[in-house]
Structure 1
Amino acid sequence: MLWNTQTYTGWGHVLSATSEIARPERATALASLGAHPAIGARRSYGDACLNSDGTAVDMTRLDRILSFDASTGLVEAEAGIAIGELARLFAPMGWMPAVMPGTGFATLGGCIAMDVHGKNHHVDGSFGGHVTALKLMVAGKVKTITPKRNTRLFAATVGGLGQTGIIVSATLQMERCEGEGMEVSEQRAENWEEHIALLASSQARYTVGWLDCTAKAKNLGRGIVEEARSTAVRPQSAPKAAAKSVPFNFPRFTLSKAMVSGFNKAYYLRIRDGGQTRIKPLEEFFFPLDKIHNWNRLYGKNGFHQFQCVLPEAKLPELRAMVETIAHSGLASPLAVLKRLGPEAAGMLSFPMEGYTLAVDFRESAKARALIAELNAATLAAGGRIYFAKDSLATEAEAKAMYPDWAAWAKEVNTHDPDHQLETDLTRRLGLRSI
C-alpha cells in the first residue's frame, strides 16, 4: 500500500493539514495498514477530517454494495460509498436511506461517525438510529457491533468522530419510498413568529426552513418553509444536465453585504402569495447544492465557517436573539437553515436534541470569528450545543460543557484506542479524549 503526502482541507477551506494518506481499494488491505484515522469525502467543514503531520486512510474507494434484501430494505455497503449513490441506486426500487444529510457526497462511514440528521429528524431521528449493524476495525481485527451487541461501543461509534476504529461496512435499514420524485410545497414566512409556527405545526415527514439572515425589525426571521413527501409522479424539472462547477475562488465583493441582502430578498419573493407546489427530483430536494461542484469556492481563497447549533424549544427567545445578532452583524451569507429536531439520538456525542437547529455560513474574517465566539457562548448559556461536523472555532471548555457524556465516551474510546492513534485535529483541539 502506497502512502502519499497530501495537504488537504475540510469543506470550509479555513483549516488544513498535511498528512501521509493511504487509499486502499479492498477492505482486506485495511488490517495491514494499522490504526489510522479514516477519512471520506471531507465534507465536514472544520478539522474533523484532518490529522496534521500524521496519517489517514482515505476510504472512498471502498464503496461497494455487499448485500441487499429487496423485501426488507436492508442493505450492507462498504463505508466509502456516498449516501447519494445509495439513494440513486435504490429509489427506483422503492427504497432510500431513511436519513440523508444536505449533501449526497457524504460517505456512509462519515454519516455514522457524525450521526448526521436530515429534514425529517423530528419524525425519523438521526442516521445512527437506522444502522442495524456495522463492522469496525479495532486493533487490526474486524468486530461486528449492533445496538444490542457491544452496546457501549456502538453508542461511542455512532456520532463518535471515527475514534473507536475504522468503520469497514455497515448494514442500513432503508425506508420505503414511492419513487424518484418529491412533492415539495413552499410557502413564505413573513417573520420569526410565523416561521417557527409553520415549522412547529408541520405534519410533513420532511420539513426545512430557509432563513433570510439579513432581514431585520418586522421582517426578522422571514424565510421559506419547505414541506415534502415522496411521490411516484415524475419530476417536473428539466432533463438532467451536467453538474456545473465553480472554477476558481471568487473575489470578496461577490458576497458583499449589499449583494447578499439583494439575493436574499429576491429568493424570498420568488415564492408567490399562497405558496407553490411542484415535483422535484429526489436529489434536488435533499442535496440542492450538489449540482454546483466546488460551491465552497464562492467564499474566496480564505474559506468560510459554518455555525450550527441546536437549542431546546424552551429557549426559542434566545435563538431569536441570536438571529437578530447575526442580522445586525451584516456577515451572513445566503445559506442559512432553520429546522425542528426530535428527541436526542443514541450516540454519546450525537448532536441532535429536541428543539430547533440553526445553521449559517460566514466567510472567514476576524469579525466572523468574533461573532461565532459570541454565538457559541450564547448556545452554551441556553443549554444547547454546536455540531462538531461544522465546527472550527469552539473551545475545549465549551465542547465539554455542551456534551455532558463526553467523559463516558472518552473512557470507552480510550479502551479501544489506548495509544490515541485515531485522534484528529478536532479531538485534540477540543481535548475530547483527555480525561
Structure 2
Amino acid sequence: MSVDTVSLTGWGRTAPTTAVRFRPRTHEEAAAVVRGRGPRGVIARGLGRSPGDAAQNAGGSVLDLTGLARVGRVDAAAGVVRCDAGVSLERLLRVLLPLGWLPPVVPGTGRVTVGGAIGSDLTGLDHRRSGSFARQVSALELLTADGEVRTVLPGTALFDATAGGLGLTGVILGATLRLRRVTTGLMSVSTERAGDLDDLLARFTAGGDRLPYASAWIDLTARGRATGRGILTRGEHAPADMRPAHAGRTSLAPRSGGARGRFRLPGFPPVPGGLLGPASAALYNEVRYRGAPRARTGELRPVTTFFHAADAFPDANLLYGRGGLVRYRFAVGHGREETLHRVVRRIAARRSPAVRAVLQRLGAADPGGLSFAVPGWSLALDLPAALPGLGRFLDDVDEEVAAAGGRVCLAADSRVRPETAAAMYPGLADFRERRARLDPTEAFRSDLSRRLGL
C-alpha cells in the first residue's frame, strides 16, 4: 500500500486541501487504514470526478480505491456482475459491452468509479425508467467504522443511508450490479432543435418515454425570445437489424483529449487554460445551436459516443481558468416549471459564460436519504468560479429553488449553505441520526460533511 501527503480538489479545482492519501490493494489494507485513522477521520475517493469537496478531507486521511479495480465473472443467467468499488464505469462498459451487457444506469461520464456512483447515487439519461445507479445494486460490501466488512442489501436502513450517502456511512469496497442486455454496441439517436425553453419542455414531454434516454443542451447565453433554446437528444439501443453491414466491430476506445492546459471546443482553436468570456461563450453557443439539425432520426452512434461525449475532452475543467469551476445542479418538481424559467432567465440576463448546461427529466425519488432526484426537471451547468458576485448570485438562486421545493445536488456541490441544504433535504435530520448510530465516533468525514454539518 502506498502512502503520500497530497493537495486534493474536486474536478472543479476549487478549495484545495491537504490530506494523507492511502492506496490500498486489498480489503485488509483498507480496513487497517480505517482502524488506524487519526482524529480528522477518513473518506473514500475514486477518480476525483466529483466537482465539489465530497472526496476531500482536510488534515485527515483519504482512501484512494482505484487500486481495487477487479471485475468478476458476468452471471449471464442472472444478468449480474460483481466488481470492486474502484472499477471505473468506462472500464466496466468495455468489459460488458462485448458480452452483450450494459450497466442499466449510465451517467454522463465513464470516469467515475462504481463506489462513487453508489455513494453519489448518480442518475442516468433514463432515470424515469430505471431510477438511480443505487437502484441497480443487488448487494454491496461496506467497510464500517469498526473495521469490519458487511454485506448490505437493498431495503435496509444501512443501504438507504449509504446510497447517496457521500461515503459518510463507510467505505464501499465492492458491489453486485444488475445488468441490461443489449444486442449491439450502437445507439439509434434522434436530435431536434427547440426555439426557446417552452418549446424544449414541450418536446421533452411530447416524446414521452418512447425513446428511453433523453437530455438536452440549453443555450444559457441566448436572451429575448430565444431564451432557453436548446438541442434535445434522445436515443435507444439499436437492434441487430439496424447495424450497418460495413460497421464491423464497434470501437469502445474514447477519443483522445487535448494536452494538459489546452482544451479544444468544436469549431474553436485551443484555449490556453484561460477564462472563457461572455462573448466567446455566446459565439460558441450560437455555432453549436445553428450547427445542430432541425430534426433528425435514426442516426447510429457508438454507445460510448452517445453517453460519454464529454469524456473526449478530459481537461475541460481547465477552460474555466485558475479559479476552477462551480457546477450548479438543481432539480424542481413537476408543476414548478416557472422556477426553471426564472433561473434560466436570470442566468441569461447575467451574461454568464456558460457553455455546458444539461437538462434532464427525472422520475420517482430514490431511496437514499440524500439522493438527489425528485420527479421533475434537473438542470446542471458549469460556471467559472472566479466570476464576480457568483457566490451571492447562486445563494439567491438557492433560495428560489428551495422555495419551490427543489434541491441542489450535494454530490456536485462546493458552496451551498448548511441551512439551505437542510431546507432542501427533508430527510437530512434522519440521515444524521442514522449516521450517528452507525458511526458515533465520526470515523468518516469529508470537507463537505464538515461544511454542511452532515
TM-score bracket relative to the smaller structure:
over 0.9
Match of 1:85 in 2: 91
Any residues of structure 2 matched to 1:211-230 within 5 Å, and which? 211-230=218-237
Match of 1:30 in 2: 30
| Aligned mates of 1:373, 1:266 — CA distance in 2 | 31
Match of 2:38 in 1: none
Specify which of 311, 320, 326 is matched with residue 332 of structure 2: 311
| Aligned mates of 2:280, 2:297 — CA distance in 1 | 26
SS at match of 2:311: coil
Which segments of structure 1 move beyond 4 Å, counting only runs of 4 or more?
234-242, 249-254
Specify which of 105, 118, 123 is matched with residue 112 of structure 1: 118
Match of 1:244 in 2: 257
Any residues of structure 2 matched to 1:152-167 within 5 Å, and which? 152-167=157-172
Q: Give yes or no for the alignment of 1:190 onto 2:195.
A: yes
Preserved contact between residue 274 and residue 319 of structure 2 (Cα < 8 Å): no
Shift of 1:375: 1.4
Specify which of 77, 101, 108 is matched with residue 71 of structure 1: 77
Per-residue displacement from partner, 1:314-357 (whole Å, max 9, x unpaired)?
11011101000000111142100111000100111100000000
| Aligned mates of 2:138, 2:227 — CA distance in 1 | 42
Preserved contact between residue 282 and residue 353 of structure 2 (Cα < 8 Å): no
Specify which of 347, 364, 387 is matched with residue 326 of structure 1: 347
Per-residue displacement from partner, 1:38-74 (whole Å, max 9, x unpaired)?
1101111111011011111000110101332022220
Taking a change above 3 Å as real, the CA distance of residues 301 and 15 of structure 1, as seen in their structure-2 partners, is same
Specify which of 126, 136, 160 is matched with residue 130 of structure 1: 136
SS at match of 1:10: coil
| Aligned mates of 2:254, 2:43 — CA distance in 1 | 36
Shift of 1:378: 1.2
Match of 2:265 in 1: none
Per-residue displacement from partner, 1:10-50 (whole Å, max 9, x unpaired)?
00001211000100112232222225211101111111011
Shift of 1:240: 5.7
Match of 2:383 in 1: 362
Per-residue displacement from partner, 1:292-335 (whole Å, max 9, x unpaired)?
22221111111010110000111101110100000011114210
Specify which of 271, 280, 283 is matched with residue 262 of structure 1: 283
Preserved contact between residue 78 and residue 169 of structure 1 (Cα < 8 Å): yes
Any residues of structure 2 matched to 1:282-293 within 5 Å, and which? 282-293=303-314
Match of 1:206 in 2: 213
Normalising by structure 1, report the TM-score.
0.95
| Aligned mates of 2:259, 2:323 — CA distance in 1 | 15
SS at match of 2:445: coil
| Aligned mates of 2:254, 2:379 — CA distance in 1 | 32
Preserved contact between residue 43 and residue 446 of structure 2 (Cα < 8 Å): yes
Taking a change above 3 Å as real, the CA distance of residues 181 and 51 of structure 1, as seen in their structure-2 partners, is same
Preserved contact between residue 107 and residue 122 of structure 2 (Cα < 8 Å): yes
User: Structure 1: where are the runs of 5+ without partners?
Assistant: none
| Aligned mates of 2:254, 2:66 — CA distance in 1 | 25
Taking a change above 3 Å as real, the CA distance of residues 241 and 289 of structure 1, as seen in their structure-2 partners, is closer
Match of 1:7 in 2: 7
Shift of 1:370: 2.3
Specify which of 143, 147, 150 is matched with residue 140 of structure 1: 147
| Aligned mates of 2:165, 2:252 — CA distance in 1 | 40
| Aligned mates of 1:172, 1:189 — CA distance in 2 | 37
| Aligned mates of 2:213, 2:418 — CA distance in 1 | 34
Match of 2:447 in 1: 425
Superposed CA RMSD: 1.8
Shift of 1:376: 1.2
Normalising by structure 2, report the TM-score.
0.91
| Aligned mates of 1:55, 1:114 — CA distance in 2 | 20
Preserved contact between residue 190 and residue 295 of structure 2 (Cα < 8 Å): no
- Aligned partner of 2:409: which letter? Y
SS at match of 1:186: strand
Match of 1:378 in 2: 400
Identity of aligned residues (%): 34
Preserved contact between residue 246 and residue 292 of structure 1 (Cα < 8 Å): no
- Aligned partner of 1:389: which letter? A
Shift of 1:272: 2.6
| Aligned mates of 2:23, 2:235 — CA distance in 1 | 38
Any residues of structure 2 matched to 1:328-407 within 5 Å, and which? 328-365=349-386, 366-407=388-429
- Aligned partner of 1:19: which letter? A
Q: Give yes or no for the alignment of 1:16 onto 2:37.
A: no
SS at match of 1:128: helix
- Aligned partner of 1:160: which letter? G
| Aligned mates of 2:329, 2:196 — CA distance in 1 | 21
| Aligned mates of 1:172, 1:102 — CA distance in 2 | 18
- Greater Cα offset, 69-78 or 31-40: 31-40
Preserved contact between residue 14 and residue 46 of structure 1 (Cα < 8 Å): yes
Preserved contact between residue 254 and residue 311 of structure 2 (Cα < 8 Å): no
Preserved contact between residue 212 and residue 222 of structure 1 (Cα < 8 Å): yes
| Aligned mates of 2:30, 2:164 — CA distance in 1 | 22
| Aligned mates of 1:331, 1:110 — CA distance in 2 | 30
Taking a change above 3 Å as real, the CA distance of residues 162 and 240 of structure 1, as seen in their structure-2 partners, is closer
Q: Give yes or no for the alignment of 1:413 onto 2:426.
A: no
Preserved contact between residue 336 and residue 359 of structure 1 (Cα < 8 Å): yes
Taking a change above 3 Å as real, the CA distance of residues 254 and 299 of structure 1, as seen in their structure-2 partners, is closer
Shift of 1:242: 5.2
Taking a change above 3 Å as real, the CA distance of residues 344 and 239 of structure 1, as seen in their structure-2 partners, is closer
